[in-house]
Structure formats: C-alpha cells, structure tokens
C-alpha cells in the first residue's frame, strides 16, 4: 500500500481538531501506520519545508510550525497520497479548498491551513525518512 506523511499542524492541535481530522482519515479507509504528538525544532522544520527556503513566508512558516505540538503520522492505503490531499483540500482554505475538505471546513488563512500531506511518492519517501527515520 502507498504511504504518505501527514502533519496536523500546531493550529489544528491548538484548536482541538486532532480527533476530527483523524476521524476523517479513518472514515476514508486510510490506516494510521505511525502517530505521534511532538514539538519540532527549527532544523526539522527547515528540512521539511526546504523547497520554500527564500520565499517571503518562509520565516513565518518556520515560526508557526515550531510554535507548539503537532501531530506527525504515516498514513497508508490505496492511493494514500492523493486520497489525503483530497481530504485536506487546496492550500488556500477559502480560494482553493472546497467545503467538505478539512481546510475548506475549518480553515480561513493560508498559513494556518491545519494539515500537511506529501504531494508525490518522492516527497512521501523523503518526508517519512525525515519524521520517522526508524521506519
């Protein structure tokens, strides 16, 4: 089965949406292979978002991701990568995510869009190795 790296970002944890988001993942038929609450350091956040280094929102994104506990998970199942991105909705919670998606239902501001999911098999492999190096 395919695997994807999912984060419930600090805004999702702080707003008490962990159960709601995990419920949607499970109801879709995807499985939780790894699940952990943790607070990340600057180096991990930088490595995770390396593709955005140099962009205007990068410093603020790093500050946000390291601001408090987040949930890191490995989610698996048939077409897990696109399936989770469908659940999440587009990056901008208003202009791109549709109602019924996690971001469409609960998000308002692009930076605070609640979840992350790997966007390709290559990203998933890289991100799972970064977040769960023992797996």
| Burial classification of residue 122, based on how many CB atoms lie within 10 Å of its CB (0-12 exposed, 13-18 middle, 19 or more buried) | exposed
Question: Does residue 113 belong to the site contacting ligand ATP (CB under 6 A)?
Answer: yes
Region from 23-31, 34-42, 68-76, 107-115 binding ligand ATP, contact rule CB under 6 A: 107-115
Annotated catalytic residue within 101, 116, 118, 124: 116
The phi, psi pair for 16, rounded to 5°, reads 75, 30
Nearer to ligand ATP (CB atom), residue 66 or residue 111: 111
Question: Does residue 39 belong to the site contacting ligand ATP (CB under 6 A)?
Answer: no
Question: Does residue 57 belong to the site contacting ligand ATP (CB under 6 A)?
Answer: yes
d(CA 91, CA 67): 20
Which of 32, 119, 130, 132 touches ligand ATP (CB under 6 A)? 119
Beta strands in 1-135 (DSSP E): 2-8, 31-38, 70-77, 115-117
């Amino acid at each position: 089965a395919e695997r994807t790296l999912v984060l419930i970002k600090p805004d999702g944890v702080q707003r008490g949406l962990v159960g709601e988001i995990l419920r949607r993942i499970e109801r879709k038929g995807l499985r939780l292979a790894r699940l952990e609450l943790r607070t990340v350091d600057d180096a991990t956040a930088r490595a995770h978002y390396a593709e955005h280094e140099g962009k205007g929102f990068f410093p603020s994104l790093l500050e946000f991701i390291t601001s408090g506990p987040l949930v890191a998970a490995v989610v698996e199942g048939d077409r897990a990568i696109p399936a989770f991105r469908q659940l999440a909705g587009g990056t901008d919670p208003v202009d791109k995510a549709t109602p019924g998606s996690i971001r469409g239902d609960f998000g308002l501001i692009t930076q605070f869009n609640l979840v992350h999911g790997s966007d390709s098999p290559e990203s998933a492999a890289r991100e799972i190795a970064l977040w769960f190096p023992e797996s």
